Amino acid sequence: MFSGLSSRLEEVFKRLRSRGKLTEANIQEALREVRLALLEADVNYGVVKDFIERVRTKAVGSAVLQSLTPGQQVVKIVHEELISLMGGAQSKLNLASMPPTLIMLVGLQGSGKTTTAAKLAKRFQKEGRRPFLIPADVYRPAAITQLKVLGQQIGVPVWETNPAAKPLDICREAVAAARSRGHDVVIIDTAGRLHINEAMMEELKSLKRELAPHETLFIADSMTGQDAVNVAKTFNEALALDGVVLTKLDGDARGGAALSIWTVTGKPIKFVGTGEKIEALEPFHPERIASRILGMGDVLSLIEKAEAAISVERAKELEKKLREESFSLEDFKEQLQQVRNMGSLDQILAMLPGMGGMKNLQVDEKEFVRIEAIINSMTPAERQNPSIIDGSRRRRIAQGSGTQIQDVNRLLKQFAESRKLMKRFMQGGKKGKIGGGRWLLR
């Protein structure tokens, strides 16, 4: 996510910060590189032009040039302007004061509307609401089936649609049924086309006019860059959108759509898709995204992911086990699974300050799979007490997990070292220090 742009900007600002004093010429040179980096990231040309001018106006002022840390001041200005470029603050969904809330998803075919409908339903479900899904795409083969399958996976009811019926008739009947059954959120998956055409727009206009949804969200594939921005502009002119959901942002190394869509359309990005899993839909926070782009990390999002993946009760149990030195390989495996539930390691590391722009950082996700396979090949007794694992047991475990004995040895050695480190940490925590260094305990 934004890795290409992030690494380019990091190089530019690293040179700026290394200078004790800055001149207007230094800033102009840096901004030329920033301008080029943004254009290469497929950010709208007009957006880039206005952005650079705003930064230049603020950066060449005496308050910056005469500052003790002029490089840092320029980075601060760029950070603030990036936040403004993406809408300034998080924009939340408009929920009806009298349920149900109607949310209509629109966009081109292949942008991810059907998957996004299920992801949104999952989010509402976790908030304690009762979502209802309406498949109104009677044109794309298997669109109705796809939504039914996703609905079954997450336990959300899907309206039984007659493919021969008209979308407006389907929605009228389905919304009435959802209201009578006590559902408080209704998500409508409308039909898309491979390209914009008059018939599609007229159908969507008719649906919006008749249903009066509380939210009309445009689903955009971030990988298509400025094409997504231009299509969003056309949809907004026809339908008066309430917001945008950017899909596939985890695979977008450039970020042009995310940085352009607010300025071009005047509509906020409300959610972003960050993976294939049904939970991989996140609220869009401009200030957090700006921090990620500039390599400052995104600790708040990381904390939220951790809180969602790890229960407080289980965390307390594990802390107790660490103190009692009864932390087992079974507990270790569970911890790995919880980390994986937070997302890919690349995404997690990118949220840590200073890690986002690291080019040579190689994360082997397959190592998780190997470790789990090795632990799964152990008996319950071996997982609780690894010291009983002798040579013959190691050979059996390696054979059962499809790995080498060296892999088993390495895991056991790393686990033993980890337990020692945890023991020292817990002891240090009681005394307020570990390894000679003081720890701040909260």
Residue 289 shares a structural domain with residue 386: no
CA-to-CA distance for 243 and 284, rounded, in angstroms? 11
Residue 227 shares a structural domain with residue 149: yes
In a domain, 301, yes or no: no
Residue pLDDT, tens place only, 81-134: 999 999 998 899 999 988 899 999 999 988 899 999 999 999 999 999 999 999
CATH code (residue 194) = 3.40.50.300
Residue pLDDT, tens place only, 27-83: 888 899 999 999 998 899 999 999 999 999 888 876 666 665 777 788 888 999 999
Angle at 51 between CA 11 and CA 6, to 5 degrees: 25
Residue 137 shares a structural domain with residue 244: yes
pLDDT of 432: 41
Residue pLDDT, tens place only, 140-170: 878 899 999 999 999 999 999 888 899 999 9
- Surface-to-core class of residue 237, CB atoms within 10 Å of its CB (0-12 exposed, 13-18 middle, 19+ buried): exposed
* SS3 of residue 439 by DSSP: coil
Residue 76 shares a structural domain with residue 200: no
User: Which residues touch 199 (CB under 8 Å, ≥6 apart)?
Assistant: none
pLDDT of 436: 36
Amino acid letter, residue 125:
Q
Residue 339 shares a structural domain with residue 384: yes
Residue pLDDT, tens place only, 228-256: 899 999 999 999 999 999 998 877 767 78
pLDDT of 442: 30
CA-to-CA distance for 109 and 193, rounded, in angstroms? 5
Count of domains observed in the chain = 3
pLDDT of 425: 60
CATH code (residue 333) = 1.10.260.30
**pTM of the shown model:** 0.69
Pairing mode, if any, of strands 185-189 and 243-247? unpaired
Q: What Å distances lie between residue 202 and 65, 141, 199, 232, 416, CA to CA?
A: 55, 21, 5, 16, 66
H or E element in which residue 293 lies: helix 286-293
pLDDT of 438: 33
Angle at 263 between CA 262 and CA 265, to 5 degrees: 65
Residue pLDDT, tens place only, 260-272: 999 999 999 999 9
Select, from the ranges 280-289, 353-362, 363-372, the one with the highest average predicted confidence (pLDDT). Answer: 280-289
List residues bridging with 271 in a β-sheet: 245, 283
Pairing mode, if any, of strands 281-283 and 269-273? antiparallel
pLDDT of 359: 47
Residue 290 shares a structural domain with residue 367: no
List residues bridging with 101 in a β-sheet: 185
Residue 309 pLDDT level (bands cut at 50, 70, 90): low
CA-to-CA distance for 437 and 433, rounded, in angstroms? 6
pLDDT of 294: 82
Domain that holds residue 407: 318-347+362-438
Average pLDDT for 400-428: 80
Average pLDDT for 425-429: 56
Pairing mode, if any, of strands 101-106 and 215-221? parallel
Residue 79 shares a structural domain with residue 124: no
Residue 437 pLDDT level (bands cut at 50, 70, 90): very low
CA-to-CA distance for 110 and 248, rounded, in angstroms? 11
Cβ 242 vs Cβ 254: under 8 Å: no
pLDDT of 440: 30
Amino acid letter, residue 401:
S
pLDDT of 369: 83
* SS3 of residue 90 by DSSP: coil
In a domain, 387, yes or no: yes
Give me the phi and psi of 103, to 5 degrees please: -120, 120
Average pLDDT for 400-421: 86
* SS3 of residue 131 by DSSP: strand
Is residue 360 pLDDT above 60, yes or no? no
Cβ 398 vs Cβ 375: under 8 Å: no
In a domain, 311, yes or no: no
Residue 214 shares a structural domain with residue 339: no
